[in-house]
Amino acid sequence: VFQLSVPLNFLGSVYRELRQSLLDMETLFNLQKVNVAIKEVPNAKPLELTGGGEIVFENVTFAYNKERPILQNLNLTIPAGKKVAIVGPSGCGKSTLLKLLFRFYDVQEGRILIDGQDIRHVSLASLRKAIGVVPQDTPLFNDTIEHNIRYGDLSAPPEAVRAAAARARIDHIISAFPDGYQTMVGERGMMISGGEKQRLAVSRLLLKDPPLLFFDEATSALDTHTEQALMQNINGILKEKARTSVFVAHRLRTIYDSDKIIVLKEGKVAESGSHSELIDTGGVYSELWSAQETLFQHGTSEHEVAVEDVL
């Protein structure tokens, strides 16, 4: 996708870094064009995660087009080392939060801080290296499964690739393919399901092992059983390493155990707190929870009650 005309093999680690950051951007942008308006300040310093990775959106206002504001004076805190969920109707700006965090766009008002540093003041490479994401729509590269996972860490040995896939609960599926990890995927490769694609993306992220992790509807294509099992593995890793993580999800059963749940509505935080706090409050979250649980108890796929139906 990125055609580079210099003999890159001579550039060694520089190439590796460059390739890594291009790949991260590619992944997030879903192969769209990179926003060239975003520039580094002169002598930008690397981001320093001295506080364990606390993310703060402070009075953030943002619109893609002036006529249609997406976020308005948004204030939210994602505490260091905690698991945070973001819930809200589609189109309310959840994925936009992630794009702003990566600085694919800059905020129009307010600021975004990571461990107290305004993200506009740090180097882009250090910012994007610190954050890992399973995007809403994961692109696969025209390459082997092994390489598709290894994009998370180009120096990883095959065993590490395999361990990441096992944690993402896809190792058994890959191993059953005739060509195993050497199976070609992507547009010109084997067709794999949406759920398999999502698990490859999770494998890639677990291999990258960044300090800040963002899962944007990362398990939406999985059946409930596989989703629960995968979430259990992810939760174990996050807890063990005390990573800051953000989950955008529609099925509340996947996120109800978060340290903090933030409900977004019309560009603002409608409510936030732990599951039990939000249930006690009796607001939109508790309404959505009851609706999804009722369907779940009746054996119906619980995500049929969409966030939109309640908010």
By C-beta, is 92 or 278 nearer to Mg ion? 92
- Please give the residues from 49 up to 68 whose contact with ligand ADP meets the rule CB under 6 A: 64
In contact, 27 and 132? CB cutoff 8 Å: no
Q: Which helix (H) or strand (E) holds 177?
A: none
In contact, 71 and 96? CB cutoff 8 Å: yes
How many CB atoms sit inside 10 A of residue 212's CB?
Answer: 22
The verdict on 2 binding ligand ADP (CB under 6 A) reads no
Q: How far is the CB of 71 from ligand ADP (least distance, A)?
A: 9
Task: Give phi and psi for 129, each to the nearest 5.
Answer: -75, -30
* Tokens representing residue 288 in the block: 């959505």
Q: Binding segment for ligand ADP among 76-84, 85-93, 192-200, 294-302 (CB under 6 A)?
A: 85-93
Q: Among Mg ion, ligand ADP, none, what binds residue 132 when CB lies within 5 to 8 Å by partner kind?
A: none
How many CB atoms sit inside 10 A of residue 214's CB?
Answer: 27
The verdict on 90 binding ligand ADP (CB under 6 A) reads yes
Q: Binding segment for Mg ion among 89-97, 101-109, 147-155, 259-267 (CB under 5 A)?
A: 89-97
Q: How far is the CB of 29 from ligand ADP (least distance, A)?
A: 10
Of 20, 95, 219, 245, the one binding ligand ADP (CB under 6 A) is 95
Q: Among ligand ADP, Mg ion, none, what binds residue 96 when CB lies within 5 to 8 Å by partner kind?
A: ligand ADP
Q: How far is the CB of 176 from ligand ADP (least distance, A)?
A: 34
Q: Among Mg ion, ligand ADP, none, what binds residue 93 when CB lies within 5 to 8 Å by partner kind?
A: ligand ADP
The verdict on 95 binding Mg ion (CB under 5 A) reads yes
Q: How far apart are CA 125 and CA 10, in angstroms?
A: 21
Q: How far is the CB of 232 from ligand ADP (least distance, A)?
A: 25
Give residue 288's Cα distance to chain centre.
23
The verdict on 219 binding Mg ion (CB under 5 A) reads no
Strand order in the sheet with 268-273: 131-134, 212-216, 244-248, 83-87, 260-265, 268-273
Residues 6+ apart with CB under 8 A from 224: 251, 253, 301, 302
> Which of 68, 64, 101 is CA-nearest to residue 248?
101
By C-beta, is 45 or 64 nearer to ligand ADP? 64
Of 47, 56, 70, 202, the one binding ligand ADP (CB under 6 A) is 70
The verdict on 138 binding Mg ion (CB under 5 A) reads no
Distances (CA, A) of 1 to 20, 23, 152, 267: 14, 10, 17, 34
Residues 6+ apart with CB under 8 A from 222: 195, 198, 199, 230
How many CB atoms sit inside 10 A of residue 3's CB?
Answer: 4
The verdict on 94 binding ligand ADP (CB under 6 A) reads yes
- Please give the residues from 126 up to 155 whose contact with ligand ADP meets the rule CB under 6 A: none
Give the number of residues in contact with ligand ADP, rule: CB under 6 A.
10
Q: How far is the CB of 9 from ligand ADP (least distance, A)?
A: 35
The verdict on 93 binding ligand ADP (CB under 6 A) reads yes
Of 96, 138, 203, 258, the one binding ligand ADP (CB under 6 A) is 96
Binding site for ligand ADP (CB under 6 A): 64, 70, 88, 90-96
